[in-house]
Structure 1
Amino acid sequence: MNDQRLGIRKIVYYSEEILLENGASPAIPAVRATAAAVVTNPWLGGDASDDLGKEVVQLAPVLARKLTDVLATNLGGVDAIEAFGKAALVGIDGEIEHGAALIHTPFFGNLVRESFDGESIICFADDRAEAGTSLVVPLWHKNAAATRTHYQSITTRIGDAPRPDEIVVVLGASTGPRPHSRIGDRRTDPIVKADTLGELVS
């Protein structure tokens, strides 16, 4: 099925590379990026109890393939991508569930993990808003979700989307960690509880 029949209006790519942070260049320069698809909401006018499955099967895998291809092509290939995240922004005539349907099922998430050679659950954000609204996409390591170095985010915004009858589906990725990451790792943290901190939490 071609893009026009699926209601895909456009694909938007955005990237950023931080060259200087707190007066110093990052030890590991990383590029963060988003690829976003603007699609017609296929469920408008339906009932709150409608089954969304048919459209998910038709549309979500296509979006997963297109967005992973855009990111891999622009970021130097699958092996260069270390962190990922996903998001959906629903136009004001739709339901939050419409965005969730496109990013929270195996027909999207499993294909993203497979395409990026990842194992982690994909962190996410979703919202409903007018065209031009910014959306912060969280990212973490594609194979080691406990690795704090890769906890980061990237903000995406499309000036004319989502229109009231559209959904913006976003896939984010990074080729490395935050600049100057140095706050340890969840796997090596000490055990911290309120009763061990004494006066600090009293």
Structure 2
Amino acid sequence: MSLVKVRKYKLDVEEVLHERGPLATQPLRVAVAVAVVENPYAGRYEEDLLPFMQELRMLGRDLSERLIQALGGKEMVQAYGKAAIVGEDGELEHGAVWHEAGGWAMREALGEPKAIVPSAKTIGGPGCRLMLPLGHIQAAYVRSHFGVAEMTLWDGPRRNEIAFGLAMATGGRIHARLGGLAAADVKGEDGLR
């Protein structure tokens, strides 16, 4: 019997045309895919969380594919991030299983990019808003791609659930102009530059 029991999925896509400046030549598209999952450890302590983490890899693959399709293909993706909101009968460590499961799945789906997948997690209930951090997929020092995507569900997570989310974006902030390593100059050898 699977430890991963999904109650619902949500896919949000936003398109940013400008940030009070001129219209962007290419709009920024940011997508967030979320699955609300029953927490198999709600209300109790479980020493071994690895079986849950391993099973969540399939969910990570599913959410990654939903995002890639929503953004028009993996070649369009320049930034990514992940997050979890754990219902109040769980613990923060139950959301931490997503670090490996969600991050691994996104890397696999995108052809093994080098940069760390930024992440956030919290304890919260229905309607909780979590700002999911974004970073460039090949190089962590690309300042223009430091951004956020909002992850929220009006009816989740419930006390015994976890909302697991992944995000991808087609570029960096609209009108980014603060210098640093440009995306066009990334070598992508070490995940940093």
Contact 1:141 1:151 in 2 (8 A): yes
- Whether the aligned pair in 1 keeps the contact of 2:13 and 2:30 (CA below 8 Å) is yes
Shift of 1:125: 0.6
> Is contact 2:82-2:102 (8 Å) kept?
no
User: Equivalents in 2 of 1:39, 1:158: separation in Å?
Assistant: 13
Shift of 1:24: 1.6
Distance 2:68 2:14 in 1: 15
Distance in 1 (alpha carbons) for counterparts of 2:51 and 2:120: 23
Structure-2 residue corresponding to 1:74: 70
Q: Which runs of at least 4 in structure 1 moved beyond 3 Å after TM superposition?
A: none
Contact 1:123-1:139 at 8 Å conserved across structures: yes
For residues 35-91 of structure 1, the C-alpha deviation after alignment (integer angstroms, 9 at most, x for no partner) is 0010000112332x6111122212x11111111010011100111111000000000
Q: Secondary structure at the match of 2:32?
A: strand
- Cα distance, 1:155 vs structure 2: 1.0
Shift of 1:119: 1.4
Q: Name structure 2 gaps, 5 residues minimum.
A: 183-193
1:171 corresponds to 2:173: no
- The sequence identity of aligned pairs, in percent, is 37
1:27 to partner: Cα distance = 3.7
SS in 2 for 1:64: helix
1:148 counterpart = 2:167: no
Normalised to the residue count of structure 1, the TM-score between the two structures is 0.84
3-state DSSP of counterpart to 1:20: coil
Quote the RMSD (CA, aligned, Å): 1.7
Shift in alpha-carbon separation, 1:108–1:154, aligned structure 2, 3 A:
closer
Q: Distance in 2 between matches of 1:35 and 1:163?
A: 18
Q: Is 1:91 aligned to residue 106 of structure 2?
A: no
When the two structures are superposed, what TM-score results if normalisation uses the length of structure 2? 0.88
Which ranges in structure 1 are unaligned for 5 or more consecutive residues?
188-202
Equivalent AA in structure 2 for residue 45 of structure 1: G
1:115 matched to 2:113? The reply is no
| Separation in structure 1 between the aligned mates of residue 53 and residue 147 of structure 2, nearest angstrom | 28
> Does the 8 Å contact 2:14/2:31 carry over to 1?
yes
Instruction: Give the structure 1 partner of residue 54 of structure 2.
Output: 57
Q: How many residues align?
A: 181
Q: 1:152-182 CA distances to partner (integer Å, 9 max, x unpaired)?
A: 1111210000000000000011001111001
CA distance in structure 2 between the aligned counterparts of 1:169 and 1:100, rounded to whole angstroms:
10
**Aligned-residue offset at 1:186:** 5.1
Asked whether the 8 Å contact 1:88–1:167 carries over to 2, the reply is: yes
Equivalent position SS for 1:26 = coil
Give the 3-state SS of the residue equivalent to 2:31 in structure 1.
Answer: strand
Amino acid aligned to 2:50: G
Tell whether the 8 Å contact from 1:84 to 1:140 is kept in structure 2 after alignment. Answer: yes
Tell which structure's C-alpha radius of gyration is larger.
Answer: 1
